[in-house]
Amino acid sequence: MKNIIKIFILFFSVVFISGCSNNATNSNNSNTVQKIEQKTKIYTRDLGNGNGMEVILVYEGEDKLVRHQANRVLSYEGYSKNEIQSNIENEKKKNALDGVDLSVEFVDDKKFIRKVVVDYTKLDLQKAIDKGLLKDFVLSDDKKTVSLKRTEEYIKDQGLKEKVS
């Protein structure tokens, strides 16, 4: 009986020790992986009559745009919710690309939010340019990423102002 207890204790000691050493190895490996900090900038524009636009830019480093979200609050006076939803669905089909998500949210009986989210880490940049969804002048010099600075210049030219928190 004592031998069985000793074997049992020895077995769990070995399992415990090997588990701890494995965790120590994993924690050392995770320390060597450098996380890239993502930062956010927000731009807005009042379009009058309660309509407006908000653009959220998520970037890494100095100039790499990784995500872009555009929210437009618009009036749908003269149109039904079904017409707006149908138009959004048609636009989604026409411009379907990995990394692009288009949706609509109805705020009340007069307004809706048209939301476009672009994940540049998943988007084929050339396909987006070919479809007219992305302007080639916002690309970085190497044409492999979207430039934060060039995108900011473009949206400022469109009348958006940076929201300072």
Q: Domain ranges in the chain?
A: 1-33, 38-162
Contact 134, 151 (CB under 8 A): no
Per-residue pLDDT at 27: 45
Tell whether the model's pLDDT for residue 44 goes beyond 70: yes
Give yes or no for residue 41 having a pLDDT over 80.
yes
Is there a contact between 115 and 71 (Cβ–Cβ < 8 Å)? yes
Of residues 78, 83, 75, 72, the one with CA closest to residue 110: 75
In the DSSP assignment, the letter for residue 139 is: B
Q: How far is CA 57 from CA 62, 105, 140, in A?
A: 13, 20, 16
Q: Reply yes or no on whether the pLDDT at 123 is more than 90.
A: yes
pTM metric for this prediction: 0.74
Split at pLDDT 50, 70, 90, the class of 34 is: low
Question: What pLDDT is stored for residue 8 in this prediction?
Answer: 34
Query: Long-range contacts: 33-36, Cβ < 8 Å, 24+?
Result: 36/60, 36/61
Residue 50: which region, alpha, beta or left (left: phi > 0; alpha: psi -120 to 50)?
Answer: left
- Given this model, what pLDDT does residue 114 score? 94
Q: What percent of the chain has pLDDT over 90?
A: 61
- 122: part of which helix (H) or strand (E)? none
The CATH number, out of the four listed (3.10.129.10, 2.30.110.10, 3.40.1390.10, 3.30.1830.10), of the domain defined by the range 38-162: 3.30.1830.10
DSSP 148: H
Report d(CA 159, CA 104) in Å as an integer: 23
The least confident of 23-27, 56-60, 90-94, 116-120 is 23-27
